[in-house]
Structure 1
Amino acid sequence: MKIQEIREIIKLVDNSSIDEFTYESEGTKVKLKKNGSIASTTPSVPSEPAAPAAPAPVAAVPAATPKAEEMVSEEVPELPVNSNKDLHPILSPMVGTFYQSPSPEEPAYVEPGTKVKADQVVCIVEAMKLFNEIEAEVDGEIAEILVKDGQLVEYGQPLFLVKTN
């Protein structure tokens, strides 16, 4: 399991109403608890081996595991200060990779100056191999694209500014 996947899970659990979460995959177990509890990652051991094999190396788990809040130290960039109240931000609903077009060979969904309608797809955010179409929430015109194609984005990070008139 990659650290980025763990970070995404931490953010999803943090933004949900659940207090405890356990996930097992490919011999790794991640257990998260909210409200000051600790987050830990441990190798899981199968109950019965399928066939005799040479012992595989196991990653050591530190004795003192940091809290979930300490594991993710990146801050979400704040919305640029703008005096124009007609600008509506389109925020990323998840952690992932921002893409302006459906594929590298195709043109971008929108460019600055493009007129958009509410529920029109403006970009894709890839999270854990899933491509999520992000839609405009309001009618208007794209005033500014705040991130670059292929850039990692955080939950709640502004992606676009839409002039709503």
Structure 2
Amino acid sequence: MQDAERDQIQSLIQLVIDEDLAELTVHSEGEKFRIRRGDDSRRECLTRNFLRGESAPRLASPALASQATDKALPETNPNLVRIISPMVGIFYRSPSPGTEPFVEVGGLVEEGQTIGLVEAMKVFNEITAEVNGRVIAVPAATEQLVQHGDTLVIIERADG
């Protein structure tokens, strides 16, 4: 995805937020973009349907870290590992609605353990812990639209 396309999509998302729209659909050059708000005004769902039958390019965006969490945690602590979203999508803390989250604050995790899911283009991608340790924060809420580079979970290394 080119920077201009990414900027246009981000502008449309901001329009939905600013105008308090429930849904916005745009048809352009054989493609259909739909931005839909969830029940909560902080939750948005972005879906891109390709009408041409082409394989969809992977969505990408600039790295936007969770600023509130980043300010609350010391940057110099080498024992803190931020698990970041590898893509734009919807973050889920549990495998299905009504079930227990993969991880909770204070819980222990092992390297390779699933800590959440990011849904992109109707595909659920497992996000795994990169280290053994204890979860100290989960800044991403379930069903939250996350960007590439957003912090999903923060783990304190067990070996540190």
TM-score (norm 2): 0.56
Cα contact 2:111–2:131 (8 A) shared by 1: yes
1:76 paired to 2:69: no
Rate the CA distance shift 1:87–1:96 in 2: closer, same or farther, 3 A: same
Q: Which residue identity lines up with residue 138 of structure 1 in the other structure?
A: V
The structure whose residues are more often strand, as a share, is 2
What whole-Å deviation, never above 9, does each CA across 1:81-134 have from its counterpart, x for those lacking one? 322331110000100000000100211000001111111000000001000010
TM-score, normalisation: structure 1:
0.55
Residue 106 of structure 2 is aligned to residue 113 of structure 1 = yes
Structure with more helix by fraction: 2
Question: Residue 131 of structure 1: which of 124, 130, 136 is its match?
Answer: 124
Flag the structure with more relative contact order, 1 or 2, with Cα contacts below 8 A and sequence separation at least 6.
2
SS in 2 for 1:122: strand
In the alignment, structure 1 residue 142 sits paired with structure 2 residue 142: no
Residues 28 and 90 from structure 1, CA distance in 2 versus in 1: closer, same or farther, beyond 3 angstroms?
Answer: same
| Partner in structure 2 of residue 104 of structure 1 | 97
Amino acid at match of 2:64: V
Amino acid corresponding to residue 119 of structure 2 in structure 1? E
Aligned partners of 1:151, 1:142: CA distance in 2, in Å?
19
Q: Which has the larger radius of gyration?
A: 1
For residue 29 of structure 1, report the CA deviation from its aligned partner.
Answer: 4.6
